[in-house]
Amino acid sequence: MSPLDSSSFEPDGVRLSIVYFPEGGIWRRQLSLPAGSSIQDALEISGFFTDFPSKSFENIYVGIFGQHLTLQHRLADNDRIEIYSPLRVDPKIARRRRAAHREKVRNIKKKMPVNDLTQS
């Protein structure tokens, strides 16, 4: 029986889901695996690397319910493996850019003359 077949669930096995959010969509798989399986086992069986050949074990980050974990982490029943995309911008840099933009807007508003023509 295939590990992907939900009817082959063993009482001492684990049921889990894997999710990935590529640009413009969602990729999701439901699996049943033997107890003691790791995240790496789940990714291999799910067909993730077949669907996304540019990804490999060396360049992906995974976690369960938002907690970053290694590929050797042992799975528990009802886990949801999340495959994370790399950040496009460092959050610290993005925050500095937003703060600078807000300051610039505030300074422009302060310099604007208030007269009958600018009031609505």
A 10 A CB-CB count for 10 gives: 11
Full set of structural domains in the chain with CATH: 6-84 (3.10.20.30)
Torsion (CA) 99, 105, 111, 116 in degrees, nearest 10: -150
Task: Give the strand pairing for 67-69 and 61-64.
Answer: antiparallel
Q: How far apart are CA 98 and CA 87, in angstroms?
A: 17
pLDDT tens-digit series, residues 44-91: 999 999 999 988 888 889 999 989 999 999 999 999 999 998 778 888
Predicted TM-score of the model (pTM): 0.66
Residue type, 99: A
Per-residue pLDDT averaged across 84-102, rounded? 89
Closest to 80 (Cα-Cα) out of 30, 16, 14: 16
